[in-house]
């Protein structure tokens, strides 16, 4: 019996240890980092699939020249990026370098996720980027990393569809936009839309909110005050924008089920509001038909005011990374050193992957960027828009505020609520979130 | 101490030793997280740094019960509608199907056929139904259009969105319910049916006087597990609407908790929601047990 009990005890102990080890075994070796041994930095971004393929050659270039500091890519889809950062951080499996949407900046700095950059990085950013980019990479006025994608919103339109309906130019005022959209919308015998004059993109919060905020900017308004303390949706501009956006759906000119993401490239939606990166995506999907695509500044209520918003991303370093110095070394190389026709790796990557330009002065002055701007009228619209676009606000409850607005906007499009009620509800909830900060 | 009690103590020790892996497992993966989330429900925490947890007392619970809170309505309402709706669909169909297939040839084949959706990943099922529901080129609308009916915006219309997801959830739950109910039906001794037939009882009388009463333990199990699953479920909402939209029309408790914790960094609020949902599940289960005990089911 004793022998049996001791054997059973051994088995039980081994099992318990196995369970314990399984629980602890998810920890990941971040790299060695010991004296004289190479360091492996993990780079977490939403550059997955084809974008990862475009990013990898530059990372390989660094890895080849820096055997002591190796960089490993960890791509996830955009929708999962913040959740992945959260989960990994909480589990202690921090990524050393992160590509961060500036809207999350407040939330991430409040939780001390982002490390403060060294003085030379701050100086470089302040010296070499335009104001909109610097603001995008700053939280509470403090720079937290290198600005990367900085995208302003504008109007995309299909020249062929507009021409067929008798319009030679894109709309300049909100009234023109509405009237042209009405003329361009076609329905079948059952009343289903077969061609949509104008539609907003749907799917997730940022892609709905940002065009809304860009339109609101053309009416002279902004969602949140510059000091991030006051919600300003319940303003004349806010109410007017909510009413205007909902009118397309209420009047049957647009249909929430008529997916703009699918029908604009298929030339079944004539006009939409999107950010500059969309041009690169359209080029890839539309091939020759891309020649039909035009872009213009957003129409405004009076046709004179220029307005838009710009959202941005930045490269930051994790506050809990054991290799912060090495991570900043890599980022300095990636964002400041010219490696291809005068472009930095970041500049070359943005041009390769998105057909868009880095806002770093040296990248904008490089020949490929100048050639691009001279050849590409669509791209020029969005580069110009950066001069007047307001940066997207990034309070620490940014993601939650974005969802509050998104749900209210969508509720007006689907007739669940009136624009006035949506403005009141969103204003109250957003103010509560700002007040709680 | 005599030999017999020594033996008993040895056996008890052996029992505890055998149980220890499970106890350790439950401590690590159940008890500790459970207590931690209970603690978190009284705090504010962004989910990144344990040193930044801030005690706020009942603030999170008060916020959930505030007049303008969306958690009680529409989110918790949707959760209950989804859970009861899916259970109703899956249970009624499963009861009819299981009763029928136990009387058919190739019973195993039919059971497998009905069980197949259950072993298919919910994400795949959600995506297939997403195509079926597509308002412009989905199969269901194509059939409706052929019949002269205008397209229905199943998931884009707030009045039909939740019902559309409930149908999928109900369909998905039929298989597992069929499996349990057929097992329950087969456990009913044939003698009862023979005796009833000899006494001249008809099909309806046999079903209501023999089958249903003797199937009650299986029915109770199906209802409790399905309802608990339904109240906790959020995958279909996430896959089919991405965010519980339009507006909050398909938002359910599980999805809101997930977003509060992992998107907004409100771990305290998410934990408070989890405990409120736990209380709801607990009450629903107790009510079910009480109802069935009054009906003569004592085995749970």
Residues above pLDDT 90, as percent of chain A? 72
Q: Is A433 touching B (CB cutoff 8 A)?
A: no
Taking residues B7-26, report their average pLDDT.
92
Q: Is B26 touching A (CB cutoff 8 A)?
A: no
Fold match, A39-150+311-385 / A152-310+390-435: yes
pLDDT digits (tens, 9 = 90+) for A313-357: 999 999 999 999 999 999 999 999 999 999 999 999 998 888 788
Taking each helix axis from N to C end, the angle separating A367-375 and A345-354, rounded to the nearest 10 degrees, works out to 30
pLDDT digits (tens, 9 = 90+) for B187-205: 999 999 999 999 999 999 9
pLDDT for res A239: 98
Strands annotated E in A242-377:
269-275, 293-296, 309-317
DSSP state at residue B73: I
Kindly list the residues from chain A whose CB atom is less than 8 angstroms away from the CB atom of residue B265.
86, 107, 111, 399
Q: Domains of chain A: which residue ranges?
A: 39-150+311-385, 152-310+390-435
Kindly list the residues from chain B whose CB atom is less than 8 angstroms away from the CB atom of residue A411.
158, 246-247
CB A382 within 8 A of CB A155: no
Q: How far is CA A358 from the centre of its chain?
A: 14
Cα distance between residue B51 and residue B203, in whole Å: 67
DSSP state at residue A297: P
pLDDT for res B298: 61
CB A132 within 8 A of CB A266: no
CB A385 within 8 A of CB A279: no
DSSP state at residue B31: I
DSSP state at residue A288: G
Q: Is B197 touching A (CB cutoff 8 A)?
A: no
Taking residues A52-71, report their average pLDDT.
96
Which residues have C-beta within 8 Å of that of residue A151, sequence separation ≥ 6? A275, A276, A277, A310, A311, A312, A356, A382
Confidence of residue A135 (pLDDT cuts 50, 70, 90): confident
| Pairwise CB contact (< 8 Å): B247 & A428 | no
Torsion angle defined by CA atoms of residues B254, B256, B257 and B262, in that order, rounded to the nearest 10 degrees: 120
| Pairwise CB contact (< 8 Å): A259 & B136 | yes
Q: Is A91 touching B (CB cutoff 8 A)?
A: no
Confidence of residue B2 (pLDDT cuts 50, 70, 90): low
Cα distance between residue A271 and residue A268, in whole Å: 9
CATH 3.40.50.1820 applies to domain A39-150+311-385: no
CB neighbours of residue A289 within 10 Å: 15
Cα distance between residue B139 and residue B127, in whole Å: 13
| Pairwise CB contact (< 8 Å): B246 & A399 | no
Instruction: Identify which of B124, B153, B155, B129 has the alpha carbon closest to the alpha carbon of residue B141.
Output: B153
Question: Per mean pLDDT, which range of A256-265, A337-346, A381-390, B15-24 is the poorest?
Answer: A381-390
ipTM (interface predicted TM): 0.83
Cα distance between residue A422 and residue A205, in whole Å: 15
Backbone region of residue A321 per phi and psi (left: phi > 0; alpha: psi in -120 to 50; beta: other values): beta
pTM summary value: 0.85
pLDDT for res A21: 34
Q: Is B135 touching A (CB cutoff 8 A)?
A: yes
Taking residues A56-79, report their average pLDDT.
95
CA distance A333 to chain B (A): 29
CB A148 within 8 A of CB A350: yes
More confident residue, B242 or B162: B162
Whether residue A157 has pLDDT greater than 50:
yes
| Fold (topology level) of A152-310+390-435 | D-Maltodextrin-Binding Protein; domain 2 (3.40.190)
Beta-bridge partners for A101: A313
CA distance B198 to chain A (A): 56
CB A331 within 8 A of CB A121: yes
């Amino acid at each position: 019996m004793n022998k049996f009990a001791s054997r059973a005890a051994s088995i039980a102990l081994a099992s318990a240890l196995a369970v314990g080890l399984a629980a602890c075994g998810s920890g990941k070796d971040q790299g060695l980092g010991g004296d004289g041994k190479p360091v492996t930095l993990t780079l977490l971004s939403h550059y997955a699939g084809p974008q990862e393929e475009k990013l990898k050659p530059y990372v390989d270039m660094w890895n080849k020249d820096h055997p002591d500091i190796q960089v490993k890519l960890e791509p996830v889809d955009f929708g999962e990026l913040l959740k992945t950062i959260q989960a990994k951080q909480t589990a202690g499996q921090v990524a050393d370098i992160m590509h961060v949407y500036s809207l999350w900046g407040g939330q991430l700095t409040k939780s001390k996720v982002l490390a403060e950059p060294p003085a030379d990085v701050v100086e470089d950013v302040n010296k070499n980027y335009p104001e909109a980019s610097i603001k995008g990479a700053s939280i509470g006025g403090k720079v937290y990393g290198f600005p990367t994608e900085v995208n302003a919103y504008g109007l995309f339109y299909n020249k062929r569809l507009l021409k067929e309906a008798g319009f030679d130019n894109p709309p300049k005022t909100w009234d023109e936009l509405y009237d042209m959209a009405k003329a361009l919308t076609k329905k079948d015998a059952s009343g289903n839309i077969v061609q949509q004059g104008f539609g907003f993109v749907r799917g997730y919060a940022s892609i709905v909110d940002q065009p809304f905020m860009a339109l609101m900017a053309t009416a002279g308004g902004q969602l949140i005050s510059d000091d991030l303390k006051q919600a300003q949706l319940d303003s004349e501009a806010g109410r007017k924008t909510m009413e205007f956006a909902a009118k397309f759906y209420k009047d049957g000119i647009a249909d929430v089920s008529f997916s703009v993401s699918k029908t604009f490239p298929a030339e079944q939606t004539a006009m939409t509001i999107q950010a500059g990166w969309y041009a690169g995506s359209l080029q890839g999907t539309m091939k020759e038909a891309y020649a039909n695509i035009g872009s213009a500044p957003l129409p405004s209520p009076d046709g004179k005011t220029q307005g838009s918003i710009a959202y941005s991303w930045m490269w930051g370093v994790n506050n809990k990374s054991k290799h912060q110095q090495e991570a900043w070394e890599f980022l300095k190389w990636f964002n400041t050193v010219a490696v291809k026709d005068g472009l930095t790796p970041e500049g070359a990557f943005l041009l390769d992957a998105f057909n868009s330009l880095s806002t770093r002065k040296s990248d904008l002055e490089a020949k490929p960027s100048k050639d691009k701007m001279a050849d590409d009228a669509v791209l020029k619209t969005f580069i110009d828009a950066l001069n007047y676009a307001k940066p997207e606000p990034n309070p620490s409850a940014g993601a939650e505020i974005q969802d509050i607005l998104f749900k209210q906007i969508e509720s007006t499009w689907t007739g669940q609520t009136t624009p006035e009620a949506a403005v009141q509800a969103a204003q109250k909830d957003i103010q509560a979130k700002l007040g709680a900060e | 101490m005599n030999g017999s009690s020594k033996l008993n103590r040895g056996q008890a020790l052996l029992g505890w030793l055998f149980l220890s892996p499970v106890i350790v497992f439950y401590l690590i993966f159940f008890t500790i997280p459970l207590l931690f989330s209970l603690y978190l429900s009284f705090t504010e925490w962004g989910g990144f740094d344990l040193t930044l947890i801030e005690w706020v007392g009942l603030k999170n619970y008060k916020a959930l019960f505030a007049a303008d809170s969306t958690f009680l309505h529409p989110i918790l309402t949707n959760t209950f509608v989804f859970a009861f709706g899916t259970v109703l669909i899956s249970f009624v169909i499963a009861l009819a199907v299981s009763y029928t297939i136990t009387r058919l040839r190739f019973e195993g084949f039919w059971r497998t056929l009905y069980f197949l959706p259950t072993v298919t990943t919910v994400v795949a099922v959600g995506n297939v139904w997403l195509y079926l529901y597509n308002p412009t080129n989905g199969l269901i609308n194509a059939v409706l259009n052929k019949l002269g009916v205008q397209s229905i915006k199943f998931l884009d219309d707030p009045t039909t969105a939740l019902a559309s997801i409930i149908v999928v959830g109900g369909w998905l739950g039929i298989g597992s319910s069929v499996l349990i109910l057929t097992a329950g039906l087969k456990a009913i001794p044939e003698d009862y049916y023979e005796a009833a037939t000899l006494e001249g009882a008809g099909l309806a009388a046999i079903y209501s006087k023999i089958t249903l009463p003797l199937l009650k333990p299986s029915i109770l199990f199906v209802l409790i597990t399905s309802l608990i699953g339904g109240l906790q479920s959020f995958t279909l909402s996430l896959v089919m609407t991405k965010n519980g939209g339009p507006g909050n029309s398909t938002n359910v408790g599980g999805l809101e908790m997930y977003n509060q914790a992992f998107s907004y960094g409100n771990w305290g609020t998410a934990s408070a929601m989890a405990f409120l949902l736990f209380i709801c599940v607990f009450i629903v289960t107790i009510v079910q047990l009480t109802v069935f005990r009054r009906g003569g089911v004592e085995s749970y």
